[in-house]
């Protein structure tokens, strides 16, 4: 690894840390600016008991003191206790949900990548044919349909009507429909992105030169065209993987998947400050990391790219 690449990675790491700090700060102050508090909805809680709860969790201290304390805890990888799920730490709740969401998301993301690249390449190589038009019509439909509609259709057809898969996403077989639901949109987008990028690359001068020199068709496609057309796909895949792995809120609700998405929704409903902030930090950090990995992968795919 040359010094320029190392310097670039260090700059991006510093920027990543700064970005996560901004997310932590904004989330903290926005949550505390909302009127009320996490114990306002508790039934039959006297003012004295509520004051005791606030003192227990440090919410009676000045906001600046709470912020500094929380920032110090985050640096030590401590996200604090849940304000609603008594006796449970935020890191444990996120960890339990993330196991399922990660399994669901990684499978969906890599299936979307593999199928999308293949379909996009086929569509580009068979441009303006019936096959190309069929692929474009199908992918346009899935890009246009919201995930809650796709998920609901799959649930009704394959779980309720035909009983092919269970409707509950808490089992291995029950994750099939959520994976398909999460996969369809990114797969369709990657298909369209690969097709347009491949068509652009196939029209470049160096491709025409390779053809004139008698380079084999398959070498032109796989070594020159496909490799260079994957750069936009890599740009999209990093953030997309982060989004899917952290869990789709809608999909997890439809299929009752016990992932981080459901925990995040419940934390917002219950105004569980520490769980909201912890989940947001995990999500933001993962997205930042995947963006950094995507940028570095540019150099692997095309060594001619100057990271500076």
> Partners of 81 in the beta sheet?
89
Name the pLDDT band for 263 (thresholds 50, 70, 90): confident
For residue 113, what are the contacts with CB-CB under 8 A and spacing of at least 6?
Answer: 186, 187, 190, 233, 237
- Quote the mean pLDDT of the chain: 82
CA distance 228 to 200: 10
CA distance 236 to 217: 28
Which residue has 């996490």 as its token pair?
38
Q: Stretch 151-159: mean pLDDT, rounded?
A: 90
Question: Could you give the percent of the chain with pLDDT greater than 70?
Answer: 91
The Cβ of residue 290 has, within 10 Å, a number of other Cβ atoms equal to 18
The angle at the Cα of 253, spanning 247 to 257, to the nearest 5 degrees, equals 65
Q: How many CA atoms lie within 13 A of 212 on its CB side?
A: 6
Q: Stretch 81-101: mean pLDDT, rounded?
A: 83
Intra-chain end-to-end CA distance of the chain, in Å: 14
Name the pLDDT band for 306 (thresholds 50, 70, 90): low
What is the predicted pLDDT for the residue at 242?
75
Q: Is the pLDDT of residue 298 over 70?
A: no
CA distance 185 to 196: 17
CA distance 20 to 188: 31
Q: Is the pLDDT of residue 191 over 90?
A: yes
What is the predicted pLDDT for the residue at 187?
93
Q: Is the pLDDT of residue 131 over 90?
A: yes
Q: Stretch 234-238: mean pLDDT, rounded?
A: 80
Name the pLDDT band for 120 (thresholds 50, 70, 90): very high
Out of 41-45, 121-125, 223-227, least confident range: 41-45
- List domains and CATH numbers for the chain: 90-260 (1.10.3720.10)
DSSP-derived secondary structure letter, 196: H
Q: Stretch 12-39: mean pLDDT, rounded?
A: 82
Helical segments of the chain, H only: 3-33, 47-56, 63-75, 90-125, 130-144, 147-154, 176-202, 205-212, 217-219, 226-229, 231-245, 249-254, 260-270, 273-301
Q: Is the pLDDT of residue 266 over 80?
A: no
What is the predicted pLDDT for the residue at 192?
92
Q: Stretch 255-284: mean pLDDT, rounded?
A: 82
Which residue has 């459901």 as its token pair?
262
What is the predicted pLDDT for the residue at 84?
76
Q: Is the pLDDT of residue 36 over 70?
A: no
Cβ burial 71-101 (10 Å sphere, 16+ → b, else e): eeebeeeebbbbbbbeeebbbebbeebbebb
Out of 140-144, 172-176, 292-296, least confident range: 292-296
CA distance 135 to 120: 8
Q: How many CA atoms lie within 13 A of 228 on its CB side?
A: 17
73 contacts 307 by C-beta, under 8 angstroms = no
The DSSP H or E segment spanning 160 is: none
């Amino acid at each position: 690894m040359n010094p320029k690449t190392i310097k670039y990675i260090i700059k991006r790491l510093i920027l990543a840390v700064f970005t996560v700090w901004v997310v932590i700060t904004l989330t903290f102050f926005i949550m505390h600016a909302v009127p009320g508090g996490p114990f306002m909805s508790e039934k039959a809680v006297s003012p004295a008991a509520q004051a005791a709860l606030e003192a227990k969790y440090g919410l009676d201290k000045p906001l600046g003191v709470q912020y500094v304390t929380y920032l110090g805890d985050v640096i030590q990888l401590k996200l604090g206790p849940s304000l609603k799920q008594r006796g449970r730490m935020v890191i444990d709740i996120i960890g339990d949900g993330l196991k399922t969401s990660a399994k669901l998301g990684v499978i969906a993301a890599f299936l979307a990548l593999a199928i999308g690249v293949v379909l996009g390449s086929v569509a580009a190589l068979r441009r303006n044919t019936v096959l190309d038009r069929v692929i474009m019509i199908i992918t346009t439909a899935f890009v246009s349909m919201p995930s809650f509609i796709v998920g609901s259709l799959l649930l009704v057809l394959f779980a309720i009507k035909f009983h092919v898969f269970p409707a509950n996403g808490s089992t291995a077989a029950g994750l099939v429909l959520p994976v398909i639901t999460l996969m369809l949109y990114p797969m369709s987008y990657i298909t369209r992105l690969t097709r347009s990028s491949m068509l652009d690359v196939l029209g470049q001068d160096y491709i025409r030169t390779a053809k004139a020199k008698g380079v084999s068709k398959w070498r032109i496609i796989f070594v020159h065209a496909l490799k260079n057309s994957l750069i936009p796909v890599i740009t999209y895949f990093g953030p997309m993987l982060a989004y899917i792995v952290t869990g789709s809120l809608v999909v997890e609700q439809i299929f009752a998947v016990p992932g981080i998405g459901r925990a995040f929704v419940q934390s917002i409903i219950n105004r569980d400050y520490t769980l909201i902030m912890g989940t947001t930090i995990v999500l933001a950090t993962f997205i930042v990391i995947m963006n950094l990995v995507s940028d570095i992968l540019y150099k692997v795919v095309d060594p001619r790219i100057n990271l500076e």
